[in-house]
Amino acid sequence: MPRIHKSTRSTGQILKGSNHILQSLLAQSRELTSIQKIVDHFVNDDCAVASFKNRDLTLITPTGSLATRIRYRQRNIIAALRRSGLEVRNLKVKVQPLAFRELPPEIDRNLSQQSARQLDELADSIQDNALKGALKRLARHADR
């Protein structure tokens, strides 16, 4: 088993240490997480906390209709946040459909032996050496 160097510290030690930047990031992360939990109580759909700066809370949603529903519940959300100890002055809601877009599933694409043979034959009939070489290299990547 490899030895751990004496200067190596655990994650807990690093976060409890004197690095003020990490302490600030950790506190901000915890604050945003607690805000998200309160907002989720009022909004059942996709909604994310974008930022909380200068007592202004910004939320993002994928649709305008959800943004409108959040604006109608704005007073209740602000009141709940204040009860939890966060002083919120304004609540802004922005629509960003692409922020909630699901990425298409990755498709495993493989070059069949038959396609590789066809690429190789095509490459033999091409005069341009650069294109010929590229097609030959591509043909070598067929499923074995």
**pTM of the predicted structure, to 2 decimals:** 0.58
Q: Cα 56–57–61 angle (5° rounding)?
A: 145
Digit-coded pLDDT (tens) for 106-116: 887 788 888 88
* Rounded Cα distance, 142 and 144, in Å: 6
Condensed to tens digits (0 to 9), the pLDDT of residues 57-85 reads: 999 999 999 999 999 999 999 999 999 99
> In which residue ranges of the chain is CATH 3.30.300.180 found?
14-100
Please state the CATH superfamily assignment of the domain spanning residues 14-100 in this structure.
DnaA, N-terminal domain (3.30.300.180)
Distance CA 92, CA 74 (A): 9
Closest CA relative to residue 118, chosen from 95, 105, 106, 135: 135
